[in-house]
């Protein structure tokens, strides 16, 4: 049968999704492949029909669900099953695409060449919490919010929070080295991974390190797998570091009439040896969009607002708060809101967390980008992004983890329009060139996936890319692990 290829540029996600679905050819695996996979995972843990599979062929990027080879979804329940699936895939040269909650923005779990989607929702157990060692042992499908709640019972804390902790998984977080607002003080996922159980491309199961706080025994395979986006191996179990839960916290929302004043305040705070747990920024357009979507009383006439969270010993909090207020006032803060209780803290966080959903009201598509620069260049980056939006006529909203030099511009646009698509592609390339020219790079926490793969040479030298490709060959000589992504 002739292969169908969707070349229609107007097809995209959203309400044309159904049309797109109809256009995808009914590509199912042959009976013997399905029977073999059923033998491994059982009949209840497999989806092979077009309607069922389709739902798993998207993530939070704007990549079209457009594949020309059969796809199936399997739900392994243990490491042995993962290993047997990968052995089967290896023997039959089939792609294997690991998938957590599918919330990544980079097209990281798109089955571009068809294959077997490994969905980890049935490997979602917290196997052990060890308060003595300050560790927990988890399966990859554990939802981050569930982990945070479970360790909280022991007065422990797992800080990485990719802003959607109610759904995103530990496995996805490890594969992307996800960050989130608290990276500023506590680091990203990479700082919490101690040891991994992984399945290699031929089905071999191994551990990357040891279950100790320190380890310099051989190469650091653990950190090689962290951030490798499922292109080297499948993570089937992880030993994660925990920290004692901070005793108290509070949240401040500080408004400014200029972006520079907001940036200068962050510099002042750092220069005075204060380390808030969060220093995020939202610009005027984002503030107004949030207010239109879910009014919480944000001040819509201010150019920017800093969301600052402080935590630590109860006794230290008033000092931190007063000092930060005073430093922000020195930098012309226009208005300062200090949460007086948990409800007020939550209200501020709700506003921040709803930013992405709010932006989705502006146009049929919202694309969240992720660029990072040295902190000192954040003002230049933000202004440059604004200019790019104006140059290409695309609604551009700025928010991000300013404390880390990490900006997430949101672009609201209509991807059904081929001219808009073209303009956005140009904007995107210039955005990455801008970040690199400021000493930054293509992604701080969302990863590369298939969306940014073609821009890697902007940030990495030929030699660096070459050694990465050689490493990929060692792990995955037949290119079956999440193919079509950055390696």
Please give the residue ranges that form the binding site for ligand FAD (CB under 6 A). 59-60, 97-105, 108-109, 120, 140, 162-164, 168-169, 171-173, 175-176, 178-180, 229-230, 234-235, 356, 445-446, 482
Question: Which residue's CB atom is positioned nearest to ligand FAD?
Answer: 172
Length of the chain as a residue count:
487
Tokens 């292109």 belong to 231
* Least distance in angstroms from the C-beta of 140 to ligand FAD: 4
* Least distance in angstroms from the C-beta of 142 to ligand FAD: 10
* Least distance in angstroms from the C-beta of 408 to ligand FAD: 7
* Least distance in angstroms from the C-beta of 278 to ligand FAD: 10
* Least distance in angstroms from the C-beta of 430 to ligand FAD: 23
Nearest alpha carbon to residue 270 among 376, 380, 361, 120: 376
**Contacts with 395 (C-beta within 8 Å, 6 or more apart), sequence order:** 285, 362, 363, 389, 411, 412, 413
Say if residue 91 is exposed, middle or buried (CB neighbours under 10 Å; 0-12, 13-18, 19+): exposed
Closest to ligand FAD by CB, 60 vs 290, is 60
φ and ψ at residue 317, rounded to 5 degrees? -65, -50
Distance of CA 91 to the CA centre of its chain: 32
Closest to ligand FAD by CB, 102 vs 409, is 102
Closest to ligand FAD by CB, 172 vs 321, is 172
Q: What does each C-alpha distance from 162 to 78, 316, 376, 445 come to in angstroms?
A: 26, 27, 24, 9
Nearest alpha carbon to residue 163 among 312, 35, 349, 28: 349
* Least distance in angstroms from the C-beta of 294 to ligand FAD: 14
* Least distance in angstroms from the C-beta of 334 to ligand FAD: 26
The answer to whether the beta carbons of residues 99 and 47 sit under 8 Å apart is: no
* Least distance in angstroms from the C-beta of 318 to ligand FAD: 29
Closest to ligand FAD by CB, 181 vs 333, is 181
The answer to whether the beta carbons of residues 247 and 313 sit under 8 Å apart is: yes
The answer to whether the beta carbons of residues 147 and 158 sit under 8 Å apart is: yes
CA triple 455-192-235, angle to 5 deg? 65
**Contacts with 263 (C-beta within 8 Å, 6 or more apart), sequence order:** 378, 379, 402
Closest to ligand FAD by CB, 17 vs 145, is 145
Closest to ligand FAD by CB, 129 vs 165, is 165
Instruction: Give the tokens for residue 135.
Output: 């560790």
* Least distance in angstroms from the C-beta of 32 to ligand FAD: 26
Q: Return the percent helix, strand and coil in the chain, to nearest 5.
A: 40, 20, 40
Closest to ligand FAD by CB, 239 vs 328, is 239
CA triple 71-102-404, angle to 5 deg? 145
d(CA 451, CA 277): 30
Q: What b-and-e string marks burial along 265-294, b requiring 16 or more CB atoms within 10 Å of the CB?
A: bbebbbeeebebbbbbbbbbbbbbbbbebe
Closest to ligand FAD by CB, 20 vs 188, is 188
d(CA 432, CA 444): 12
The SS3 assignment for 241 reads strand
* Least distance in angstroms from the C-beta of 6 to ligand FAD: 22
Closest to ligand FAD by CB, 162 vs 409, is 162
Closest to ligand FAD by CB, 177 vs 264, is 177
* Least distance in angstroms from the C-beta of 33 to ligand FAD: 21
Instruction: Give the tokens for residue 330.
Output: 């020195």
Say if residue 32 is exposed, middle or buried (CB neighbours under 10 Å; 0-12, 13-18, 19+): exposed
Closest to ligand FAD by CB, 198 vs 324, is 198
* Least distance in angstroms from the C-beta of 84 to ligand FAD: 16
Closest to ligand FAD by CB, 333 vs 444, is 444
């Amino acid at each position: 049968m002739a292969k169908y290829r969707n070349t229609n540029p107007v097809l995209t996600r959203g309400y044309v999704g159904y049309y797109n679905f109809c256009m995808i050819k009914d590509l199912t695996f042959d009976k013997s492949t399905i029977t073999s996979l059923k033998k491994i995972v059982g009949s209840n843990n497999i989806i092979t029909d077009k309607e069922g599979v389709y739902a798993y062929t998207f993530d939070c990027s704007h990549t079209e669900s457009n594949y020309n080879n059969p796809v199936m979804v399997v739900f392994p329940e243990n490491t042995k099953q993962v290993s047997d699936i990968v052995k089967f895939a290896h023997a039959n040269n089939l792609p294997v695409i690991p998938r957590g909650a599918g919330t990544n923005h980079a097209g990281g779990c798109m089955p571009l060449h068809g294959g077997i989607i490994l969905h980890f929702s049935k490997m979602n157990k917290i196997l052990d919490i060890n308060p003595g060692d300050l560790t927990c042992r988890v399966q990859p499908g554990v939802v981050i919010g569930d982990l945070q709640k479970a360790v909280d019972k022991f007065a422990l804390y797992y800080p990485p929070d990719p802003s959607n902790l109610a759904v995103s998984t530990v496995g996805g977080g490890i594969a992307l080295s996800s960050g989130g607002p608290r990276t500023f003080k506590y680091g990203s996922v990479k700082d919490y991974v101690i040891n991994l159980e992984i399945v290699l491309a031929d089905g071999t199961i191994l551990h990357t390190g040891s279950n100790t706080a320190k380890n310099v025994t051989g190469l650091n395979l653990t950190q090689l797998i962290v951030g490798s986006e499922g292109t080297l191996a499948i993570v089937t179990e992880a030993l994660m570091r925990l920290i004692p839960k901070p005793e108290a916290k509070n949240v401040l929302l500080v408004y400014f009439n200029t972006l520079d004043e907001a940036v200068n305040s962050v510099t002042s705070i750092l220069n005075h040896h204060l380390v808030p747990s969060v220093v995020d920024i939202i610009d005027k357009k984002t503030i107004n969009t949030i207010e239109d979507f879910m009014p919480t009383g944000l001040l819509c006439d201010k150019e920017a607002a800093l969301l600052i969270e402080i935590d630590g010993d109860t006794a230290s909090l008033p000092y931190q708060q007063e000092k930060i207020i005073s430093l922000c006032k020195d930098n012309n803060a226009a208005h300062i809101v200090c949460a007086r209780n948990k409800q007020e803290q939550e209200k501020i966080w709700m506003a921040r967390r709803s930013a992405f959903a709010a932006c989705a009201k502006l146009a049929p598509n919202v694309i969240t980008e992720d660029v990072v620069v040295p902190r000192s260049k954040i003002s230049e980056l933000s202004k440059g992004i604004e200019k790019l939006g104006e140059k290409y006529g695309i609604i551009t909203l700025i928010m991000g983890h300013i404390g880390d030099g990490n900006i997430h511009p949101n672009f609201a646009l209509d991807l059904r329009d081929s001219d808009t698509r073209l303009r956005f592609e140009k904007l995107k390339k210039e955005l990455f060139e801008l970040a690199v020219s400021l000493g930054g790079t293509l992604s701080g926490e969302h990863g590369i996936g298939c969306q940014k793969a073609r821009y890697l040479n902007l940030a990495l030298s030929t030699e660096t890319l070459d050694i990465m490709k050689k490493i990929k060959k060692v792990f995955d000589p037949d290119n079956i692990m999440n193919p079509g992504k950055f390696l």
